[in-house]
Structure 1
């Protein structure tokens, strides 16, 4: 298990984590910031051009998961992880990958009022022996107060909140320990096993009366997606697409779906690639749209969007697949793609 202590700079994550080690038997401090420092030493400096935060590196986010899994083969756990995580898509990616490895997460937000945060940040600079270095840290910390405020709505909904404004680190740790013992902060995310080979996946495009396409926002990975999923062993792809739509959205589709696109996705480590099929699920009438269901462990939101809007929401490979699927729908003829490029 991982006890993830979230919160902005000055909330007391590190000091609370140290106290928490005494309260959770077998616990080990796991600081993903060390992975970021290591990447800065190992990767070419050019890779960091335009990157202010190592969390923006896909390698860091994957290493957080891989390292946690490796540590848990060496220590009994839990891992106590004091790490600010303000971007919801990164939370989805990391926590979803941990869930895929059957590693449960207790997400705890250490919240402190901004006036107290500013005082703590200022005091940290004053106690410094290196004024220039800590002035830079102070500026950086202050710059993250607004992103933290912006992230608070989703953080409060996702994590168990411990208000540290009036608490000592020991008192905060005691509250966190009690929360962990009672199961608070558990992230109930669908456990989608990581593929170990090429996969066959089937998705469905559903439309509203304005011809906008339905996208869903998974809780377990970053980015928007089409309804659908991996085809199970021995299952027909179109049947899998119908099953996934029923499970995800509560919509029963006819079994005979029209194929729009068959796309071979090239392997791109750490992914294995495979065949991706998109079917036309037709236009949903308003009364069916109003009854759409969302399983909280799997999907956070849904939205009908235009093709142009989808371009800013989907990863490039998925948007390219959508683009050609819409062309196939217009022409009434399915398209065969390889790595997103039509054949013939």
Structure 2
């Protein structure tokens, strides 16, 4: 199979879909790999390294979209990229379609077969292709929040860890999954006063056992959520409903009762955000202020630590890419029910129920597609 990897064009996105090592693996299995020139520059991977791995360097993304059977990316295709997709082509990348009707519409119209990293599952229902980026984003959320809390950045001027004689900052983490757990590790490590909210008793037991007295846990009902959010210096939104839009848990009204200069970091922004006042931002302009509350809503947080993120991502995405290239998408999905969960769009049909329900499309089951 001819596999192509274009340079990412989203604002301040430095990751790349294939490392030179991943390209070598694909080539060694008999595939042809095309890499857009400078695609790996953000992780210090040179064109020469890709050539040494057996890949072909092409001058622009146009050739990749026009001639490659499978396109491997990191972020969802931007509008100019979606216009180049074609029927029968395989797109393998993050998509986050539920909060993005324009992208969904154009992928449907293109006739592409789109497999989304974020909905591929594992044997225990986990999301293994999302997990490493959730780990990175969770850890970065505390770094970003700590910076936004600085007075020069619009925040309250609070040091999360405090100092002797001065109370530490209060951090409320909404969601105790992968993002929330990693955010709590960082916040606890800084010495902050940390509260983790979740609705799953098993999650609360797990994080409570791990952190013991270093963090508090609370069941996430309306009263507890309101109490934690309005007292916090930093609130981290870490909720996820696989493939679906995130619920709006922090309302505009709550902002009026929060402390002036408090910070909201919305890690769920890829799925539409879990704060009512959230809107996607970029690394170039990461924050904005609503009702005195600083919002950090960068939709590609792990792109800021591109080398770490790219290698962590390739570790989990490459095995599926190899399987698709070796067997073709249909046989690969037939033989791997977990990979099959990643199919979101195929030849003009929406094949992931949460996306279809959210955006009003007819749902086409995987069985119908594979028939």
TM-score by length of 1: 0.28
The structure carrying a bigger strand percent of its residues is: 1
